[in-house]
Chains A and B, each alone.
Chain A
Amino acid sequence: MKHITRKASLQVNQNEGLIFEKSSAGKAAWKLPPLDVPEVDASKLLGASERKDLGSMPEVSEIEIIRHFTRLSTWNYAIDLGMYPLGSCTMKYNPRVNEAVARVEGIANGHPYQPEKISQGALYILKTLSEQLIEITGMDAITLQPAAGAHGEMTGLLMVRAYHQSKGNARKKILIPDSAHGTNPATAAMVNYAVENLKSDSRGMVDLAALEAQMNEDVAALMLTNPNTLGVFEQDIHKIADILHAKGGLLYMDGANMNALVGKVRPGDFGVDVMHLNLHKTFSTPHGGGGPGSGPVAIKKILEPFLPTPVVVTKPDGTFAFDYNRPQSVGRVRAFYGNFGMFVRALAYIQANGPDGLRQTTEDAVLNANYIRKGLEGTYDLPYSTPTMHEVVFSDKLQAKKGVRTMDIAKRLIDYGFHPYTTAFPLIVPGALMIEPTESESKEEMDLFIEAMTSIAAEVEEDPQTVLDAPHSTRVSRLDETAAARRPVLRWKPAV
C-alpha cells in the first residue's frame, strides 16, 4: 500500500468454523434446576406428537460459545470502532445508558398481558414517549406499534386509505419521487395502491410543475422524504402540500432523515399529514446488525380515528390504560404494542439531550456533513450543487474515467479503516456516493475520512488496480455473490 492510512493497522485475527463443526456429544453449556414436580412420561402425554430427535443441533461448552461469538464479532465493523458514514442510515452513537435502563427488571420482564394496574410503568413510558415525539414532529397524535420504518410506512398508508375511504373514495395511486427509498413503492403495493413516479428537477427537488400536472383526484398521497435522499431540504414543501391538499390528497413524509430537522423545524408545521420516524436512526437505538428497529407513525388530527388499536389513554383518575374501542381503526399491525424495548432507549436518548441537546445534535449533524462536502468537493463530482443538510451525495463520474466505480471506492475505504458510505443510491445519481457522518463524529475522525477519500482518489489516478481489487486487508476478499444466488447454500448440513 502506497498510501498508508493513519486510522487502521492490521491485526492477527482468529479463525473460527461454524458452531456445528465444534459440536461433539456430551458437551453442554446449560444446567436446569432439579424438577420440583413429578416427572412425566412424554410419550404418554404427547403420543404421536412426541419429538424423539433434535437432529444435528450443536453440543458445545460455555467457553466455546463465548469464544465462538467473540471471534465472530471481531470480523465486524461497528460504530464503536469508527465512523460509519452510511447515507440515509444515520449510524450515530448508541448510548450505553439506553441499554442499561432497557434491562431494569420490571421493564425487561414485563408481560404484555399483565393487568394494567401493574403495568403503569410501561404505560407511562409509552405515553411520555408519544407526547414527546408529537412535540418533536409538530403532529397531533401517534402510534408506536409499527416494528420498523417500512412497517410504519404501511401503517401510515393504511390510515391514508381509511381516511379517503371514509370520504367515499379510497383513491387509486401514490406519487413517489424517483429519489425515494425502495420501501416506499413496495409499501404502496402492499396497501394496494398503484405507484406513479414523480421526477426531480435540476436541483434534485420535487418538480412543482410535474406535481401539478400529475396531481388529480385519483392520487391518495405523495410519499416524500424531507430532506430528500440527496440531503436537500424541499424548499417548496408548503407549495407541495398545498397542491396535494387542493385536490384532497395527503402529504406523507418518510422521516428517515429526521436527524436533519429535530429542534430546528417540525414537519407538522410545514404541511405534513402523516409521517413515520425511525427510532433506530434519529433516536439512537442500536441497529444491531439489521434490527430491531421501530417505526412510530405521527399524524394530524384528521387521521386520528384510524390509528391502530390499542391507543394509550389517561383515565380520569390519572392512571393510564389501553383503549381498544376504536371502531374506525385500521386494526392491528403487530401483536402487542410494538418494539417496547426501543421506546425505552429512545426516551432515554431524549432525556439525555433535552431541548438544547436535541437542537445541537441536529446542528452538529448538518455541520459535519457540510464539512465533509467542503473537504471532498472537487476531488469527487458533486452532481447537485444545491445546499445540503445532514448528508451529501457525490458521484463517481471523475473516477469512472479510470474504470473505478463507487463500489470499488467503497471497498477501498475498508482498507483505510472505515465502513463504506451508501453506494448506488439514490437512483437519480448514477454511481452515487452517499455520505452521512451524523453528529457523533469529531473533527479528527472526519479529517481522517477526508484524508482517506482523497488518498483513494489519488490512487485511482496512479494505480487504479489497487482500488479495483480492494479490500486487501480483510479476512475474506470480495465474495462471489453471483454464485451465492445461482446455487443458494442457505444452511449448514451434516456431512452424509
Chain B
Amino acid sequence: MLKAIGLRSVDDLFAPIPAEYRLTRDLKVPRQMAESEIVDFFRQRSRENGEDYTSFLGAGAYAHYRPVIIDSLISRGEFLTAYTPYQAEISQGTLQAIFEFQSMICELTGMEVANASMYDGSTAAAEAVMMAVRLTGRRSVVVARSLHPEYREVLATYATHQGMPLTVAGFDDDGRLNLEELEKSITAETGCVLIQSPNFFGTIEDVASIAEIAHKHGAMLVVSIAEAVSLGIVEPPRDADVIAMEAQSFGVPLGFGGPYCGVIATREKFVRQMPGRLVGQTIDKQGRRGFVLTLATREQHIRREKATSNICTNQALVALMVNIFMTVYGKVGLKELAKQNLAKTAYAAGEFAKHGKVLFGGAPRFNEFVMQTSEDPKAINSRLLERKIVGGLPLKKFYPELGNAALWCCTELTTRSAIDDAAGLLCEGPARPTTERSAKEKEKEEAAEVAR
C-alpha cells in the first residue's frame, strides 16, 4: 500500500506534523492484553462492585427485570454498529424502530409528539425548560424542591449562562409541591414551572392543580418523569405542556448511572422548538411507506448557532432497549408490572412503619418512600451492608431539613424476605436472628407456593 501511494515508510505519512511535537516514545499504558486477560480484569472489578448485594436504592435509577430478548436483539450488528440514520434507504430498520419508540412514548405519556431520545432524564429536563423559555419568551423558572436534586444541579448549570433565573418552591407535609409557595413564586416573567411526578420522594404530584396555577399566570408546565414504570398504573401528567422523561426503568441496565435514555414529549404545536432528532413517516418515489429523519432545520448541523440545541449524538441503542421492553410488556404487562411495584412498596412501607416514621403518608406514592429514624441512616446502612443489603439513600446531603431520613425503593425484584430482613435490621438492639428466621419463613412460603 505504501508503494501504491509512493511512500517509503509510514512515518512519511506523519510528515505534516512538526517534528518537535511528534511522540517518540510509547504511550504509558499497559501492554497489550489478551481477551482472556481483559475479561478477567473486568470480572475482578465486578467482584469489587457489590455484585451480590440486595438493594433498596432507587432515586432516579431503578432495578427492574430486563427480558433477555432485549440483549439478543440489540446485539445484532445491524443495530449495534450502524450510524445515525441519515441515509434513509439503508437505515429503515433504525428509523422504523425509532418511529415506534416515539409512538409508544406518546401513548404512555399522553402527549402528541416525542423525540428520538436525549442523553438522560436530567439533561432532558434542562432542555425541556429551555424549550419552554423559548416558547413563552419569558426567562425565569420555578423548580420544585421535590425534583431530583441532581436534575436541579444540571438545570442550574445549563441555566447559569442563559440568563434564566431559578426559584425553588418547597414541598408540603405530604411531600407534594406547596401550592401556595408555587403561586407566590410565579411572576409575569416565569416561563415555566418544572416538577417531577412521581417526585424524588416517590410521591405523586397533584399535576392538574399545578398546571392550573402555572397556566393561569401564562407559564408552561414541564413535568419530569424519572420512574417510567409508574406510567403503567399512574395517570400520566396530561396537563403538562412538555414532559421530560428518563426511560432507564424500561429495560436499561443500572450500569452505575449510564448510559440511560432521556426523552422529551410535547404537544404538536410546540414541535418546532423541540430539541433532538425526530423520525417522520413519508413515502418513496413508488409511494411505499418509509421513514426519515425530519424537521432537521431545528438542529445544529443546519442551523449552527441558531439551533434549538447543540445535541447531535443521542441514545439510539438505549432507546431501542426501551422500545423492546415496552413491546414485551405492552398494554397489559406494563400495568401488571407497575401493580407489583405498588404492592411491594405498600408492604415495605407498612413493615417499616413499625420501626420508624414513614413520611408523606398523606399523598399517593408509587415505588419509593421516605423513612425517618432516630438513628442516622448511615449507621443503619452499615448494619445492613454487613448482611449484604444496600439500604435506602440517606437524604441529609440533599434535604437536611428531613433530619435522619432515607429514600427507599422497592420494585418487582424486591422479595418479601428481603423487605422483612431489612425491616428487622432498622432498629439497633440485640442481634436478632432475622436472617435465619426469614430463611425459615421463606422455605415455608415456597412450600406453600408449590402446594398452591
Contact = CB atoms under 8 A, between A and B. Distances in A.
B284 A112 contact: no
B195 interface: no
Interface string A163-204: 000000000000000000111011111111001000000000
Nearest to A357: B32
Contacts of B236: 51
B310 A111 contact: no
Interface residues of B, number: 188
Contacts of A189: 305-307, 310
B204 interface: yes
Interface stretch (A210-218, A297-305, A459-467, A477-485): A477-485
A73 B78 contact: yes
A246 to B, nearest CB: 19
Given A189-B306, A354-B30, A74 B78 contact: yes
Contacts of A112: 61, 254, 256-257
Contacts of B292: 479, 481, 484
Contacts of A12: none
Contacts of B123: 147, 151, 333-334
Given A37-B416, A45-B342, A488-B280, A147 B38 contact: no
Given A150-B311, A292-B313, A336-B150, A42 B233 contact: yes
Contacts of B374: none
Contact of A270 (B21, B98, B99): B21
A196 B121 CA distance: 33
B140 interface: no
Given A119-B50, A291-B316, A334-B154, A66 B69 contact: yes
A221 to B, nearest CB: 14
Nearest to B14: A264
Interface string A23-43: 100001110111111111010
Nearest to B246: A335
A38 B316 contact: no
Contacts of A265: 14, 17, 21-23
A400 interface: no
Nearest to A349: B38
A213 B256 CA distance: 48
B400 interface: no
A337 to B, nearest CB: 5
B338 to A, nearest CB: 8
B234 A288 contact: no
B277 A45 contact: no
A111 B253 CA distance: 9
Contacts of A89: 83
Nearest to A309: B153
A78 B332 contact: no
A104 B21 contact: no
B283 interface: yes
Contacts of A492: 99-100, 103
A135 B29 contact: yes
B343 interface: yes
A335 B284 contact: no
Nearest to B96: A72
Given A66-B72, A136-B29, A443-B1, A341 B258 contact: yes
A135 B81 CA distance: 28
A235 interface: yes
Given A337-B258, A481-B282, A114 B53 contact: yes
Contacts of B317: 286, 288-292
B290 interface: yes
Contacts of B10: 363, 366-367
Given A30-B336, A232-B16, 6 more contacts: A39-B343, A111-B63, A148-B311, A289-B316, A479-B284, A480-B283
29 contacts: A33-B412, A37-B419, A40-B342, A40-B343, A65-B328, A72-B92, A100-B39, A101-B42, A106-B47, A111-B254, A113-B61, A118-B49, A158-B157, A183-B300, A190-B309, A263-B27, A289-B83, A290-B84, A290-B116, A291-B117, A292-B119, A335-B60, A340-B257, A341-B255, A419-B87, A479-B88, A479-B282, A485-B295, A491-B99
- Which 9 A/B pairs are nearest by Cβ-Cβ distance? A288-B317, A336-B257, A80-B77, A106-B51, A106-B46, A121-B49, A354-B32, A118-B50, A112-B257
